[in-house]
Amino acid sequence: MPQTITKGIKVLLDEANAEVTTLPVAEAKTLYDNDTYQFIDLRDIREIQRTGMIPGAFSCPRGMLEFWIDPESPYHKEVFNQDKTYVFYCASAWRSALSAKQAQDMGLGPVMHLEGGFSKWTAEGGPSVERT
């Protein structure tokens, strides 16, 4: 019997974008090297190796996000335990919208995501570096 999906990706993205702040690339380009902001790259390592990442960003594969955020998780990462504004990004702002909403729902904040993702970042002249 085929599955009946009752809430598709368009609805999930609409809900996430209604609740999470979207950071325009022009503004993000003035903040990526500001110590009060932490950019989080949610893309797969292969994507990062192909295209680079925003300087100073922390690589967090989407599948580990909740585990790395939760301080009670054995996988917790201290980068998520700072008094900073978290800016999530992926390739095109789909994973980042969903991730930012999930992080916000978990209590992390302030949280936002990058408009248009890394694709728009590079198209608008944002700097990138190889993964470190």
Compute mean pLDDT per 10 residues along the chain, 132 residues long, and list them.
Answer: 93 97 98 97 96 97 97 98 98 97 97 98 95 64
Per-residue pLDDT, 1: 84
pTM: 0.94
The matching CATH number, chosen from 1.25.40.10, 3.40.50.1950, 3.40.250.10, 3.40.50.2300, for 16-123 is 3.40.250.10
Closest by Cα among 50, 39, 45 to 89: 39
